[in-house]
Structure 1
Amino acid sequence: MEWLLLLEKGIWFGLAAIGFGVLFNVPKRTLLPIYIMAAIGGLFKVFLIHFEINVILSTFVGATAIGFLSIWFAHVRHAPPPVFAIPAVIPMVPGIFAYRMMLGLMHLSGKIDPNTFNHILSETVNNGLKVMFILMALAGGVGVPLLITRKESAKEIKIKRIGFPRA
């Protein structure tokens, strides 16, 4: 894979994330970290797909990188981690597989040649399952780092003791 093409894809991942960040009205101080995280996460995904790693696993690795980076940027920029993670991970949503699944469902709902029915059905189910598993990989990749590190930072939370009257 050409490095220039890889760099271009990283730029587009970052720009798409900036667009979603602006759409979600995030603070201006978070836009550069969102760009960096989306570019890094997207590059992980594209790089692993280039080396013939499954698209679901490569998406999970990219989303996990975004999840861990969002925690670091949250401490640096003083904003909650989802403010960084959600706009950065949205460009990795599997639009083409969802589009192909919907086209297959439309073909299956109309008159179809019995000879091609099984092929179209298997392609539609395949694309639908890819969409489902990629979305689960995105949610898990972003969510697991937040859950893991939340355990550590919860130790510092001070909770007021409520005194119960003694009988």
Structure 2
Amino acid sequence: MELIALIIIDAMFAAVPAVGFAMVFNVPKKMLIYCAVGGAFAHSLRFLLMDFGLHIEWATLIASSSMGFLGLYWSRKRLIPRPVFTVASVIPMIPGSFAFTTMIGLVELNTAGYSVELMQIITENGLKTLFILGALSFGLALPSILIYRGRPIV
């Protein structure tokens, strides 16, 4: 029961930045609910997968791919471009804390000098940031690659 409450709280908090990002880029008002639901769905799925023991990079890839397929369905149903839903929906999964820790470590490296522990923190958080961003990008592109792969490019 506690897990369900945590997922609901996670979904509510993930819907807020998804809608905020969509509003910044003038998504039509009727589509904001889809952005909120998509952000809540994707972030909650990642949270659930991580709770089951999956690493954050793999959980992000699965969640963003699932959001990509859901966004593809919504875009065909509503006749609106797919990025309207999908990009705003994955914004809550941007790895801000890992990127921030990496940048703070780089600044500290510049001021305090080299140390093995500091380089370990920078490398670990920097690679985690890159892999999560790659999972987000590839996950959103994967449904289009799989669905439209038989069509000519030009």
Asked if these proteins are the same fold (TM beyond 0.5), I'd say: yes
Task: Report the Cα distance in structure 1 between the residues aligned to 2:147 and 2:22, rounded to whole angstroms.
Answer: 24
Q: 1:165: which partner in 2?
A: none
Q: Distance in 1 between matches of 2:83 and 2:147?
A: 13
Q: Which structure 1 residue ranges, 4+ long, deviate > 2 Å from structure 2?
A: none
Unaligned runs of 5+ in 1: 160-167
Q: Which residue of 2 aligns with 1:31?
A: 32
Q: Structure 2 counterpart of 1:120, which letter?
A: L
Task: Report the more deviating stretch, 21-30 or 95-104.
Answer: 21-30
Q: Size of the alignment, in residue pairs?
A: 152
Q: Residue 134 of structure 2 is aligned with which of 120, 136, 147?
A: 136
Deviation at 1:129, TM superposition (A): 0.4
Contact kept, 8 Å, 1:60 with 1:140, in 2: the verdict is yes
Distance 1:32 1:100 in 2: 33
TM-score computed with the length of structure 1 as normaliser:
0.85
In the other structure, the counterpart of 2:105 is 104
- TM-score, normalising length: structure 2: 0.92
Supply the distance in 1 between the matched residues of 2:145 and 2:138 (Cα, whole angstroms). 10
Whether the aligned pair in 2 keeps the contact of 1:14 and 1:36 (CA below 8 Å) is: yes
Q: How far apart are the structure 2 equivalents of 1:90 and 1:103?
A: 22
For 2:54 and 2:149, how far apart are their aligned partners in 1?
A: 31
Q: Is the 8 A contact 1:18 1:35 kept in 2?
A: yes
Amino acid at match of 1:21: A
Q: Map 1:48-127; keep pairs closer than 5 Å.
A: 48-112=49-113, 117-127=115-125
Q: CA RMSD in A?
A: 1.7
Retained in 2: the 8 A contact 1:17–1:87?
Answer: yes
Find the counterpart in structure 2 of residue 147 from structure 1.
145
Percent of aligned positions with the same letter in both sequences? Answer: 30
Q: Distance in 2 between matches of 1:150 and 1:79?
A: 17
Structure 2 runs not aligned, ≥5 long: none
Q: Deviations over 1:58-97 (max 9, x none)?
A: 0101101110000011012110101111111111000000
Q: Is the 8 A contact 1:93 1:135 kept in 2?
A: yes
Q: Which residue of 2 aligns with 1:6?
A: 7
Would you say the 8 A contact 1:49–1:55 is kept in 2?
A: yes
